[in-house]
A and B are shown apart, each in its own frame.
Chain A
């Protein structure tokens, strides 16, 4: 019974990410002592996790469909600049947020037009669109940070400063979005098609699925949530438009999504895993900051975590391919 043996092993692997999360908490509680467990610090970790989780929600499905989106950090910065600019122009905050989200959708449409209609390679396309988004973010305010006047009195800002039962509202929103996304991923056809596309694109297309539409939706959602995340960061962290906000999201985003592929659906990026991945990374960042470690340590640890996630994904995908069809070099 080869099948059961594999699934038996998989069930154990599926908890690997939770173990990592526990390990991170244990490690930092040993290293940092009490300070790490202060409610204030834990809530800050949840707040950071919620923000970055919203930002990479859409990216999860793009990676899940075995495509690539390198444009999400710059789309987030571009949306943050548009949001800040509109707010300073005395636009209604909700309207400004809506316009920034539309900017995100626009970039998603551009990417999917090129990838789906003209069959560009998604990496190259998103490198191009990310450059364009970054350039626009810089052009909007001559490349400098745009602080928002009178943000403290805006209702939207106050809303993001609130807590629900002691939890930061960003975290609550993220949980709500991820619950909805989980239903979409598990219960709708879109969710099934996303993962089917990763397995065998031609078979999916020949079975009559409009795979172009599925991909378009994935790319548009990725940019939409990137823009959403950008706005959340403006409201919760920066209080200003940041033309180069995205530089730290690049590695963090991919690390979170690929760590997430170690949970629930082993070897596939999925929303539950991404959410846990966001918690792991935020706890890690908070602990490292508390220890006063430099940029290098964080970067190396995140890089190693990313490689670990990728290795698990690859090991799983290799298991699907029967041994006989492999060449010696593979």
Chain B
């Protein structure tokens, strides 16, 4: 019984926290739970979820990726540039996603094959990608052809009253869930994250798994950036710069609720982060205040995972257990 409780406690705590956030904003702003705001929230939650699920793969292998939020800027502005050249949106979108996969594989190659330290290397690669994003328009907004090409369909087209990105998000979630948690392929990620040596000795191709995690992260981040670009209606090279914090927060909230990086946890975390962000926007409080709150929520989430989950620590925490 005690065991059961300690397993469920984080879930209950999360539900209470989420409920508290929703009720607070509903009290402050009666339109918070209106259908228009819910559709709005679904649109913005979908991009956070898509990018954060990519990050989940990298956290699952016990690494960090600081490049995704910068390399996806390159992808967004690449798509905008191609559209402004008169391309049909579909090949432009495919090019953007391919660029995301390419940047992901560069990070993966550096970390997985060359064995460079993950954090600093991805900062460098991300910065290079972000810098190259300035080549298309030197940082200016790209808006030619955007309305004619109907790019906004990517973010606003309603299918059965629900915007298209939500379907993309659902597809990404289902695919990643089966890939990461229901297949042998996915076990490899957790195995590498737990102990690389043991994973190697039990036949996992460690290096390939690391590269794959980074490719998935880069690809999904680029999808998120493309949707965000479509929503904004012009190519902006800084499109993804605000993704870093929500994505890490989402993954870590998921980890504190389900004790390991997982798809459902990440999605719940992203939901909480987005609820806070849209809530503050709906009562006309600028984004930096919600950043402040999100920062504290991230710290709270990790604290919870440290206090409630003593056993079954993730690799990062286990590695540091020797420290006093």
A296 touches B323 (CB 8 A): no
User: Residues 288-327 of chain A: 1 if any B CB is under 8 Å from the residue's CB, otherwise 0?
Assistant: 0000001111111011101100110110001000000001
Least Cβ distance of A26 to chain B in Å?
A: 24
Contact for B317 among A121, A202, A255, CB less than 8 A: A121
Q: Which B residues between 266 and 324 are near A, CB-CB below 8 angstroms?
A: 286, 288-289, 291-292, 294-296, 298-299, 302-303, 306, 316-317, 320-324
Residues in A whose Cβ lies below 8 Å from that of B128: 299-300, 303-304
A205 touches B116 (CB 8 A): no
Contact for A127 among B114, B124, B200, B248, CB less than 8 A: B248
- In the complex, number of A-B residue pairs with CB atoms less than 8 Å apart: 147
Residues in B whose Cβ lies below 8 Å from that of A119: 306, 317, 320-321, 323
B135 interfacial by beta-carbon distance below 8 Å: yes
Chain B interface: which size bin? 35 or more
B120 interfacial by beta-carbon distance below 8 Å: yes
A131 touches B127 (CB 8 A): no
A68 touches B119 (CB 8 A): yes
A202 touches B132 (CB 8 A): no
Least Cβ distance of A286 to chain B in Å?
A: 18
Residues in A whose Cβ lies below 8 Å from that of B245: 127, 131
B288 touches A327 (CB 8 A): no
Query: Which of A137-145, A155-163, A276-284 binds B?
Result: A137-145
Contact A329 to B200, CB < 8 A, known contacts A138-B286, A139-B292, A311-B116: yes
CB<8 Å pairs between A and B, sample of 25: A120-B299, A124-B248, A125-B299, A127-B245, A127-B248, A128-B298, A132-B296, A135-B295, A139-B292, A205-B322, A205-B323, A211-B323, A254-B120, A258-B120, A294-B134, A297-B131, A299-B128, A299-B130, A303-B127, A306-B127, A310-B117, A310-B121, A310-B124, A328-B200, A329-B206
A-B contact sample (12 more), CB < 8 A, given A119-B306, A295-B131: A120-B302, A124-B302, A127-B248, A129-B295, A132-B292, A143-B288, A205-B323, A250-B123, A295-B138, A298-B131, A314-B115, A330-B115
| Residues of A participating in the B interface, judged by any CB pair closer than 8 Å | 68, 70, 114, 116, 118-121, 123-125, 127-129, 131-132, 134-136, 138-139, 142-143, 201-202, 205, 210-212, 215, 250-251, 254-255, 258, 294-300, 302-304, 306-307, 310-311, 313-314, 318, 327-330
